[in-house]
Amino acid sequence: AQTVTQSQPEMSVQEAETVTLSCTYDTSESDYYLFWYKQPPSRQMILVIRQEAYKQQNATENRFSVNFQKAAKSFSLKISDSQLGDAAMYFCAFPRGSGGSNYKLTFGKGTLLTVNP
Amino acid sequence: EAQVTQNPRYLITVTGKKLTVTCSQNMNHEYMSWYRQDPGLGLRQIYYSMNVEVTDKGDVPEGYKVSRKEKRNFPLILESPSPNQTSLYFCASSLKDRAAYEQYFGPGTRLTVT
């Protein structure tokens, strides 16, 4: 069953503008992490930002920030002052544990972000 | 430099010809994992390993084998590749107690099976 949902297959933004990518997830755990990964055309998986579920404060990394709503199981990524280099596929992910062993990352299907000059 | 390496980066092969994709990390990580990425499906886990000689299936293990004889290496073996295994493959590693916190990804291997 799909446990991470990215409802926007594609998004576009003008350079220097702000864009928000959506992600919802499903888990019965109370303490976990959430991630946004960026995959540029080079296909490398790059960790953009990480949120700890027990922290109420939203994570921020330079121009990237999240809006984490634990009760709603929502984890959106906001990119401010968009740059051409932000164009990439973005994946929301969280590690599903199984008895404290395999923390496999469960990924959404991705959102392809285009940045227009 | 701390890194996860994969070889080859690109491979085109024919149905049924056995192949191995290597993965190596230099960070002394216990946890290693293989994912495959397909359009519209995101990444899905194939196999993982919590330590040397300890491996287990992920979500899509059919048609794959792995081994973990050394801590740094975790090769992915396709004994009889089929076209539905055409995909982009990623290896990832982590410290065992930090697998839920951070995983380091290799650069990916693009496999085409004709």
Looking at the predicted structure, is the pLDDT value of residue A77 above 60? yes
Q: Give B88's contacts in chain A (Cβ within 8 Å).
A: 43
Apex CA A71: angle with CA A68 and CA A74, to 5°?
Answer: 40
Q: Highest mean pLDDT: which of A27-31, A96-100, B6-10?
A: B6-10
Amino acid B47: pLDDT: 95
Amino acid A45: pLDDT: 93
Phi, psi of A84 (to 5 degrees): -60, -35
Among B48, B59, B90, beta carbon nearest to A45:
B90
Contact A21, A77 (CB under 8 A): yes
Looking at the predicted structure, is the pLDDT value of residue A98 above 60? no
Amino acid A30: pLDDT: 78
Looking at the predicted structure, is the pLDDT value of residue A3 above 80? yes
Q: Give B10's contacts in chain A (Cβ within 8 Å).
A: none
Cβ burial A35-68 (10 Å sphere, 16+ → b, else e): bbbbbeeebebeebbbbebeeeeebeeeebbbeb
How many CA atoms does the CB half-sphere of B42 hold within 13 Å?
Answer: 25
How many CA atoms does the CB half-sphere of B36 hold within 13 Å?
Answer: 19
Amino acid B96: pLDDT: 77
**Is any Cβ of chain A less than 8 angstroms from the Cβ of B40?**
yes
Residues with Cβ within 8 Å of residue A22, at least 6 apart in sequence: A6, A7, A8, A74, A76, A111
Q: Is B85 helix (H, G, I), strand (E, B) or coil?
A: helix
For residues A81 and A37, what is the distance between their CA atoms, to the nearest angstrom?
A: 18
| Residue B66, min C-alpha distance to chain A (Å) | 16
Amino acid B1: pLDDT: 85
For residues B79 and B10, what is the distance between their CA atoms, to the nearest angstrom?
A: 18
pLDDT along chain B (114 residues), means of 10: 94 97 96 93 92 92 97 97 97 82 91 98
Looking at the predicted structure, is the pLDDT value of residue A58 above 80? yes
Mean pLDDT calculated for residue range A90-102: 73
Mean pLDDT calculated for residue range A96-117: 80
Best mutation target among B23, B41, B98, B105 (most A Cβ atoms within 10 Å) is B105
Task: Share the mean pLDDT of chain A.
Answer: 90
Torsion sign (Cα): A56, B101, B61, B34: positive
Residue predicted with more confidence, A39 or A1:
A39
| Residue A16, min C-alpha distance to chain B (Å) | 28
Residue predicted with more confidence, B83 or A27:
B83
| Residue B42, min C-alpha distance to chain A (Å) | 4
